[in-house]
Amino acid sequence: MAIVGAFVLPHPPLIIPAVGRGREREIQATVDACEEVGRRIAALAPNTVVISSPHATMYRDYFHISPGKVARGSFGMYGAPQAAYEAHYDTELVAKICAQCEREGIAAGTDYERDARLDHGTMIALHFIEHYLKGFKVVRIGLSGLSATEHYKLGQCVQKAAAELGRRVVWLASGDLSHKLLAEGPYGFAPEGPVFDERVAHDFATGDLVDLLAMDPSLAERAAECGLRSFWIMTGALHNTAIRAELLSHEGPFGVGYGVGAFEPTGEEGADKSCNRLVSYLERRAADLQSKKENEDAYVRLARASLETFVRERRRIAVPADVPDELRETRAGCFVSLKIDGNLRGCIGTIEPTRASLAEEICANAISAGTRDPRFAAVRKDELADLVYDVDVLTKPEPVASTAELDPARYGVIVSCADGRRGLLLPDLDGVDTVDEQVGIAAQKGRIDLDFDEYRLERFEVVRHL
């Protein structure tokens, strides 16, 4: 068996005594659980520990695997330069993983390293392992903005590479849970925070790793987590492997969730086909997509029909006879947003009506969202079944005197200059929690410098159709 154990470890810097200076005792349950992980890893006697960390080099469409023979880092940026660590990389395993990824078509490798220094997620893992084990090698892997499926497949590649080399490997997935558990915490509170933490803690306790793969991306985004993708790769490394799961601890006294989990393989690696968690996830995902499609309202069905017909047949549909009267008789601006696995795939809209009816506005903007958003290539036929649509119908924008009249949960914002530059951001978007964030993003989209340009603000509301 190549993957002899897998663990989840959080990475609060103050858990390091030189950084915490006593405050680490406020998360003593987490400290004790991390020490237990160190003991268990030592008992497994691995040749190599693979660490996936949210704070290693990360790209949207590429998994970075740290190159070289050795890397060092310290907690100097947290006022504790004496807390220094060193990792000796398993270069043979790194090369084998990269080769396996190339064969499988996974965008991963050792290129484009921005900073060779060890990140704090990796160093905290090393801190607890080195209390009990010396002389092991390390592979450090960053996360990406790619799908759960791609993260899982990367884990599979590591599993296969380790097996080919006969390595005994322990997987350590570094990652915190929600950062929004308490109003007085550093990141504030969001109701999705405790929901996310309770669900992940349950999954750690029961070993339901498929549920981690199937986590609603909007829930994860609003909870402001940082470990989910790390857990996805770990799940792939346990492909076709039965496990015994244990939640060693879970707490969040500072407003950030710290979960420690242990996953012990209980049979031969690859022998239990019922543990093909990727197949289980894809089946669940397909059922969820089908349910969404069956429950789409008339606005979204119209957007879907317009884009699918255009992509498949290169023609624009006429407004169907059975659309509700409100779509035929109303004129309004609207935005059509497309997502795949929770990631934006296109968004185009009109602030004010440009067509004879809202129905025509939706049809035109759906095609534009799928084919003319400059941030993305045009939607392909094979992507159509995976698309999730939102249609936002806008009220007429109204001027506001200051940001005090804005609320990113209720109002969208338009930032504009007299020379025609204008940027818009819709309301109630994942990851946009403050007025300053909302206005800043809208201004950036309009190429407006808030410090130097004279600008005006407008707000609007939307009715969101799903």
- The residue ranges of every structural domain in the chain are 3-287, 296-465
Q: Are 40 and 133 in contact (CB under 8 A)?
A: no
% of the chain with per-residue pLDDT over 90: 95
CA distance 14 to 253: 13
Judge whether residue 114 has pLDDT over 70: yes
CA distance 49 to 43: 13
Q: What is the pLDDT, as a whole number, of residue 395?
A: 94
Judge whether residue 270 has pLDDT over 90: no
SS in 3 state form for 301-363?
Answer: HHHHHHHHHHHHHCCCCCCCCCCCHHHHHCCCCEEEEEEECCEEEEEEECCCCCCCCHHHHHH
- What are the pLDDT digits (tens) for 335-348? 999 999 988 999 99
- What are the pLDDT digits (tens) for 38-57? 999 999 999 999 999 999 99
* Longest CA span, the chain: 73
> Between these two residues, 271 and 159, which has the higher pLDDT value?
159
CA distance 420 to 416: 7
Judge whether residue 271 has pLDDT over 70: no
- What are the pLDDT digits (tens) for 28-42? 999 999 999 999 999
Q: Are 423 and 445 in contact (CB under 8 A)?
A: yes
Alpha-carbon distance values, 146 to 40, 149, 305, 402 (Å) = 31, 8, 27, 38
Strand partners, 424: 414
Provide mean pLDDT across the span 393-420. 95
- What are the pLDDT digits (tens) for 436-464? 999 999 999 999 999 999 999 999 999 99
CA distance 161 to 23: 41
Burial status of residue 384 (CB atoms within 10 A of its CB: 0-12, 13-18, 19 or more): middle
The residues near 250 (Cβ < 8 Å, ≥ 6 apart) are: 177, 197, 201, 204, 257, 258, 259, 260
Judge whether residue 350 has pLDDT over 80: yes
What are the phi and psi torsion angles at 144 (to 5°)? -150, 175
What are the phi and psi torsion angles at 288 (to 5°)? -65, -45
Judge whether residue 1 has pLDDT over 90: no
Helix/strand/coil for 14: helix
CA distance 265 to 244: 6
CATH 2.40.10.170 fits 3-287, yes or no: no
Q: Are 357 and 327 in contact (CB under 8 A)?
A: yes
- What are the DSSP E strand ranges found in 240-315? 243-251, 258-265
Angle between helices 228-237 and 148-165 (to 10 degrees): 40
154 C-beta neighbours (distance < 10 Å), count: 29
Alpha-carbon dihedral angle through residues 71, 228, 151, 116, given to the nearest 10 degrees: -20
pTM: 0.91
Helix/strand/coil for 149: helix
Burial status of residue 52 (CB atoms within 10 A of its CB: 0-12, 13-18, 19 or more): buried
Average pLDDT, the chain: 96
- Return the structure tokens found at 307: 């884009």
Q: Which of 204, 225, 233, 226 is nearest to 146 (CA)?
A: 233
Q: Which of 43, 36, 122 is nearest to 85 (CA)?
A: 122
Burial status of residue 134 (CB atoms within 10 A of its CB: 0-12, 13-18, 19 or more): exposed
- What are the pLDDT digits (tens) for 134-176? 999 999 999 999 999 999 999 999 999 999 999 999 999 999 9
The residue whose two tokens read 């995902």 is 285
Q: What is the DSSP string of 381-406?
A: GGGGGG-EEEEEEEPPPEEESSGGG-
Question: If you classify domain 296-465 with CATH, what class do you get?
Answer: alpha beta
Provide mean pLDDT across the span 196-212. 98
> What's at 316, amino acid-wise?
R
Provide mean pLDDT across the span 113-125. 97
The residue whose two tokens read 């936002």 is 392
